[in-house]
Amino acid sequence: MKKIKTTFIVAVIFFITTMPFRELFNVIEVTEMRPASALPPVLGLMLGVPGVLGCAIGNLFADMLSGYGFTLSAWGFIAQFIFGLLPFLAWNIISRKGKTDKKGVVVFRLNSTKNVICYIFIILTNSMIMAAMLGGLMHFHGISTFFSDATLMVFLNNFVFGVVLGIPIIIFITVKRFKSDNAILSLNERLVLIFLSLGVISAMLIGFFAYLELSQIIDNHLAMWNRIYTYITLNIFIFNLITIAYIRYSEKSITTPIEAVSKIAQNYITQGGNHLNCNITDKCYEFSKIKNEIGVLVAAFLAMSEKIAEHTEHLEKVNRAYYRFLPSEILQQLGKESVVAVNRGDNTAIDTHILYVSLIGFAKAVDSKCAESAFELFNRIGGTIMEIVIENGGVVESGSQTGFICFFESREKAFEAAFSIRHELRVYESSRGSASIKTAVSLVEGSVLIGVAGHEKRLCTFSISPSVALAEYLTEIATLYGAGVICTDSSRKNKRLLGDFLLSNNETIRLYDYYEGEEEEVFFERNKLRTLFEKGVKHFENKQFKKAKAVFIEYLKQSVPDAAAKQYLFLCEHNIKNLSS
């Protein structure tokens, strides 16, 4: 529907443009001073087939209204269609890899000397073809000979108006398209259009003054218009030759480098000031060799981008260094984008899974070591813990020779980290041939207040929560009972009930011993005797201490050494003795 509308509008415009000049400036029987000659090739280039067809239809109605016969009108329709179609086809062949619009149609723009030369060449060639066709047609119908002033008139009519009026029409349509797309004309395109507009104005002035003079001294209209067209053609040739030479120089030394560097700078900013890639750098070095202000500008841009890249790299290194002391996950919880935005007193409450790793015997193990060896040992153990925590999506809030406090969003990831820590540190101690350092691991879910405290010149993170204190306390129970990973959660397999324990606030909690990360022999023994162990625990909780004692004795006979069973056996004997006394 849109194409039909375009065809209709073009046909009306062509008809309205043609008729007044056919009546007022008729030169010979089949043509006149014809500004409408600019429309078929130009609208063919800019609008495609709908523009070509609209011009042919408009010419057909104009010929019929002017009294031309059917045969001549039909030939006129075909000639106008070919006159508009040839430039459209030629441009699509020349610019196969050119810029296309949303519909895939090659866009014609006078934005470079190459396109200007192509346009003039297309109009010149097209005008010659049409002059040959119409000259042959006039010769066939006996209007004039093939080589005549009439044929020259047809050629000059088409060529002069194709340049003089065609260029303003192209400029108008180009600007209108850019406004509708919210785009802007490039610097080179504006320069080209300005100079071509000046050429059009000069050609119009020469034609106007030549008409005023020659209309007084030459009676033969055909000869007069051919001479006027010749003057205009010479003006077009000389002016456009100068224009093309200057614009070509500008493209090489001014406009193209400026446009390229502006795009590079825009992309550079969009990408956040990252390093320029090799192709862009090579292009900038090429432009920097231009011996004018553009070369100086490009060289300065290159130097600036290199300095920014160095500075950015340095800042990234500084940020990575800061994150070693203040993890990015804690910054996110505090709602801060970087360490620069952190202030003393910033804090927030989070619901999290707290993993506490207690280093049992570490302080004694380093007493006999020099400072260097002690730090090497701590870095080895601490590095293992931190690597496992980070791999499982957790964050180490703090660490010391007594233990590490870690936070996890995922309960499953927290469990996986706990088991891995137990396994890896046990393997490490075995490789050292020493069991002087052991770990106890607890896992608690709760709310934690994390924040930043200290002095303006020295800040540190801290966490406040009864849950953190509970996690630390549970590692003491884990140490006493030889538990693998001690936890209040009962959702996973490979665990055993450790019992109910009374806290300092008289609150009772039920604890479980997860043995998934333990040695293979321990894992299978605890898994096999889990029911027997939990039977003894239930007897103990029901204060059936003698039954509980008998169960734990039986358990220890079947099991590898088990600190939890031994502790329960001790408590059973202690309670039995107290009851008998």
Packing angle, helices 256-270 and 293-325, rounded to 10: 10
Any bridge partners for residue 26, and if so which?
Answer: 32
Given a cut of 70, whether residue 461 has pLDDT beyond it is no
pLDDT at 557: 86
Which of 76-85, 357-366, 484-493 is least confident? Answer: 357-366
Given a cut of 50, whether residue 339 has pLDDT beyond it is no
pLDDT in tens, 268-292: 666 655 555 555 666 666 666 666 6
Band (pLDDT 50/70/90 cuts) for residue 512 is: very high
Question: Rounded mean pLDDT of 414-432?
Answer: 83
Q: Which helix (H) or strand (E) holds 335?
A: none
Nearest by Cα to 338 from 325, 328, 349: 328
Nearest by Cα to 440 from 488, 474, 412, 394: 474
Q: Which helix (H) or strand (E) holds 356?
A: strand 347-360
The residue whose two tokens read 């400026």 is 258
pLDDT at 581: 59
Band (pLDDT 50/70/90 cuts) for residue 246 is: confident
Higher-pLDDT residue of 564, 30: 564
Given a cut of 90, whether residue 232 has pLDDT beyond it is no
Higher-pLDDT residue of 532, 156: 532
pLDDT at 511: 92
Rounded Cα gap, residues 533 and 549, in angstroms: 11
- To the nearest 5 percent, what fractions of the chain are helix, strand and coil? 65, 15, 20
Whole-number mean pLDDT of the chain? 77
Given a cut of 50, whether residue 341 has pLDDT beyond it is no
pLDDT in tens, 59-113: 888 888 877 777 778 888 888 888 888 888 888 887 765 555 555 455 677 777 7
The answer for 572, left when phi > 0, alpha when psi is -120 to 50, beta otherwise, is: alpha
Question: Rounded mean pLDDT of 444-464?
Answer: 67
Question: Rounded mean pLDDT of 518-546?
Answer: 88
pLDDT at 325: 46
pLDDT at 269: 66
Higher-pLDDT residue of 162, 514: 514
pLDDT at 538: 93
pLDDT at 340: 45
Predicted model pTM: 0.48
Given a cut of 50, whether residue 147 has pLDDT beyond it is yes
Band (pLDDT 50/70/90 cuts) for residue 451 is: low
Rounded Cα gap, residues 560 and 327, in angstroms: 42
Given a cut of 90, whether residue 526 has pLDDT beyond it is no
* 308 class by beta-carbon count within 10 Å (0-12 exposed, 13-18 middle, 19+ buried): middle
Q: Any idea what DSSP says for residue 74?
A: H
pLDDT at 342: 47
CB 558 within 8 A of CB 527: no
Question: Rounded mean pLDDT of 563-577?
Answer: 88
CB 436 within 8 A of CB 445: no
Q: Which two tokens stand for residue 1?
A: 């529907």
Number of H helices and E strands in the chain, helices first, is 21, 10
Sign of the alpha-carbon torsion through 91, 92, 97, 98: positive
Question: Rounded mean pLDDT of 344-348?
Answer: 58
CB 165 within 8 A of CB 38: yes
% of the chain with per-residue pLDDT over 90:
3
pLDDT at 304: 74
Rounded Cα gap, residues 297 and 286, in angstroms: 12
pLDDT in tens, 533-556: 989 989 998 989 899 889 888 888
Q: Which two tokens stand for residue 378?
A: 């701590």
Higher-pLDDT residue of 474, 17: 474
pLDDT at 523: 86
Higher-pLDDT residue of 392, 316: 392
Tell me the pairing of strands 485-487 and 438-455. parallel
Question: Rounded mean pLDDT of 433-457?
Answer: 72
Q: Any idea what DSSP says for residue 100?
A: B
Band (pLDDT 50/70/90 cuts) for residue 503 is: confident
Q: Across 14-18, 20-24, 200-204, 572-576, which has the greatest mean pLDDT?
A: 572-576
% of the chain with per-residue pLDDT over 70:
76
pLDDT at 28: 57
Tell me the pairing of strands 31-32 and 347-360. unpaired
